[in-house]
Amino acid sequence: MVALILCICGCASNPASHAQQAEATAFRFEFARVVMGSRARIVLYAPSEGDAVEAARQAFDEMDRLNLVLSDYTDTSEAMRLCAAPIGVPHPVSPDLLDVLLKSARVFEASDGAFDPSLGELTRLWRSSFRSGRLPDPDQLADATARSGLRLVRIDEARSTIELLAPGVRFDFGAIGKGYAADRALRVLARRGLPHAMVDLGGDIALGEAPPGESGWRVEATDDRGEARELLLANLGVATSGDTYRSVTIDGVRYSHILDPRTGLGLRSSLAVTVIADEAWLADAIACAASVLGPKRVQPLLQRWSATRILWIPSQNGSAEDDES
Ligand code: AMP
Ligand code: MG
């Protein structure tokens, strides 16, 4: 079972400097709201309730704003409008969409396409399989596969433009967007002078400075033997991917909501992963890529982002040895 629980600690004592004194007078506040269809939770330390409420409001607003850029659940998001843009024409995009695409391209390349934010046609098919309980029609699957892959997208960083090279390409930032939004929300809090904060957006977690007087946020994660481990982490991103809560059984086979872009079907792996990386967007995307690649094939990714740590978690229906999908 995938478990990731954050336990938040109290404040420091014996302040020695001005900074520590300010920290010692900070109180803990917690806020929750639905963002991107998931529960978003913010924990922060602030000198007053007024500061805390206003900062949290701005952080939630930032995540809502990014949802309007990235979502594939509404045709009016910037990403979906881009998908409807003429083929073969460079299309100007916002700094946010450009940034997410550039970050995505790095993980796409390093994972040899295991993480692919342009497989939206495949995820659309797979979502209907979730509803119908039937595997996709082979012709539709082949068609959606042909429309997937970042090689069909030209990114011009200098000009801030995106060009679609084939019709029917559809973005799905489901495996990077929540982590990215959590990072950005955390940045909003830091800019308001509240760096001792964490943002958890549906399990994709951006951790800021540790709670005052503590050396980190207590993160409890299940390890590859299925045992709970407590980690003390700060200024990092944490993400968990797996099929514990989102799976479908078709003809007796259990499939995940994470797709192997090579087959267009959900993974059958029994492993879930928790990833710790420099930022939440990276942990989010690598958690997806690692789920597809499995423990053996994920090594090049770890060489590219050497600070990244992966905990492999056996899910209820398998063992850590069943690593390949
Ligand atoms: P997460 O919720 O972070 O585990 O990400 C899973 C979501 O990302 C899915 O619901 C899809 O929308 C999308 N997705 C599934 N498979 C992939 C993949 N191989 N690469 C990129 N995104 C994916
Ligand atoms: Mg995620």
pLDDT band at 125 (very low <50, low <70, confident <90, very high): very high
**Percentages of the chain per state (helix, strand, coil), in multiples of 5:** 35, 25, 40
The whole-number pLDDT of residue 15 equals 40
Give pLDDT tens digits for 211-225. Answer: 999 999 999 887 767
What is the DSSP code (8-state) at residue 1? -
The whole-number pLDDT of residue 271 equals 81
Average pLDDT score over the chain: 89
Question: Mean pLDDT over residues 256-280, rounded?
Answer: 93
The whole-number pLDDT of residue 71 equals 97
Whether residue 261 has its Cβ less than 6 Å from ligand 1:
yes
Give pLDDT tens digits for 234-246. Answer: 999 999 987 666 7
Whether residue 174 has its Cβ less than 6 Å from ligand 1:
yes
Is the per-residue pLDDT at 201 higher than 60?
yes
Whether residue 242 has its Cβ less than 6 Å from ligand 1:
no
Q: How far apart are CA 293 and CA 272, in angstroms?
A: 12
Beta bridge partners of 273: 241, 312
Residue 15 near residue 215 (C-beta atoms within 8 A): no
Is the per-residue pLDDT at 161 higher than 80?
yes
Residue 167, Cβ density class (10 Å: 0-12 exposed, 13-18 middle, ≥19 buried): exposed
CA dihedral 97, 30, 279, 277 (to 10 degrees): -140
What strand order describes the sheet that includes 161-164? 91-92, 161-164, 153-156
Residue 161 near residue 92 (C-beta atoms within 8 A): yes
Q: Which of 314 and 56 is assigned the larger pLDDT? A: 56
Is the per-residue pLDDT at 45 higher than 60?
yes
Question: Mean pLDDT over residues 10-22, rounded?
Answer: 46
Is the per-residue pLDDT at 21 higher than 70?
no
The whole-number pLDDT of residue 242 equals 74
Whether residue 248 has its Cβ less than 6 Å from ligand 1:
no
Q: How far apart are CA 146 and CA 149, in angstroms?
A: 8
| CA–centroid distance, residue 244 to ligand 2 (Å) | 13
Whether residue 258 has its Cβ less than 6 Å from ligand 1:
yes
DSSP per position, 49-91 = HHHHHHHHHHHHHHHHHHHHHH-SS-TTSHHHHHHTSPTTS-E
Question: Mean pLDDT over residues 288-314, rounded?
Answer: 91
pTM assigned to the model: 0.91
The residues near 211 (Cβ < 8 Å, ≥ 6 apart) are 8, 9, 10, 11, 28, 45, 196, 217
Question: Mean pLDDT over residues 271-297, rounded?
Answer: 94
In b/e form, how buried is each residue of 215-247, taking b as 16+ CB within 10 angstroms?
A: ebbbbebbebeeeeeebebbebbbbbbbbbeeb
| CA–centroid distance, residue 16 to ligand 1 (Å) | 46
Q: How far apart are CA 104 and CA 246, in angstroms?
A: 23
Question: Mean pLDDT over residues 107-128, rounded?
Answer: 96
pLDDT band at 19 (very low <50, low <70, confident <90, very high): low
| CA–centroid distance, residue 70 to ligand 2 (Å) | 14
**Residue 20, SS3 per DSSP:** helix
Protein residue closest via CA to atom 11 of ligand 1: 174
What strand order describes the sheet that includes 228-233? 4-7, 217-222, 228-233
Q: How far apart are CA 184 and CA 49, in angstroms?
A: 22
Give pLDDT tens digits for 244-256. Answer: 667 899 999 999 9
Q: How far apart are CA 221 and CA 234, in angstroms?
A: 15
The whole-number pLDDT of residue 135 equals 96
The whole-number pLDDT of residue 247 equals 85
Tokens of 174: 């489901």
Give pLDDT tens digits for 49-102. Answer: 999 999 999 999 999 999 999 999 999 999 999 999 999 999 999 999 999 999
Among residues 220, 182, 191, 160, the alpha carbon closest in space to that of 41 is found at: 182
Residue 161 near residue 93 (C-beta atoms within 8 A): yes
Is the per-residue pLDDT at 168 higher than 90?
yes
Task: Locate all alpha helices (DSSP H) within 166-224, ordered by sequence.
Answer: 177-191
Q: How far apart are CA 240 and CA 257, in angstroms?
A: 13
